[in-house]
Amino acid sequence: SRPTVIDLAPAEFAHRPLFPVGRLDRDTTGLLLLTDDGETAHRILSPRRHVAKVYEAALDAPLPDHAENAFANGMTLADGSHCRPAGLSVVVPGDKPVVRVVLTEGMYHQIKRMFGVYGAGVNGLHRDAIGGLALDPALAPGQWRELSAEEVSKISS
């Protein structure tokens, strides 16, 4: 079996019952929070709280002009699941655009499924922020650091 993010946590945290706040798919990079505070995790993950998660996606095909409106109005996926309204903006236009997506829910493979409605595949997906907390640009992939109390308040207040 593959190691999980908890298996990769530093040894000094082995005595703490850490768990991820949400998840990232195996092929998704970016911000992932670990905690031993269930109350904070619940505040971040609760569907009632609508905590925004910001992603950047590299697509393999262009999108129709109406895609931004469809995301903003809440779209229906191929299987009939309905998504809450989401933000969509183009960061790099073209035949293989890069887009920014802001979600307030977390359905299984949601971003990939949303773009699949338009026949576009996701070649790369990166989570940039959760709530008001952006990924620290000083951290390289696989690096970690503890959050300050101020940073925790940005995502759980």
Amino acid symbol at 126:
H
What b/e string do you get for 119-138 counting C-beta neighbours within 10 Å, with b at 16 or more?
ebebeebbbbbbbebebeee
Distance CA 141, CA 58 (A): 18
Catalytic member of 7, 25, 65, 79: 25
Q: Provide the greatest CA pair distance for the chain.
A: 51
DSSP state of 144: -
79 is catalytic: no
Q: 30 pairs with which residues across the strands?
A: 127
Helices 149-156 & 38-45, crossing angle to 10 degrees?
A: 40
Angle ∠(54,100,55) on CA atoms, nearest 5: 30
User: Looking at the annotation, which residues are catalytic?
Assistant: 25
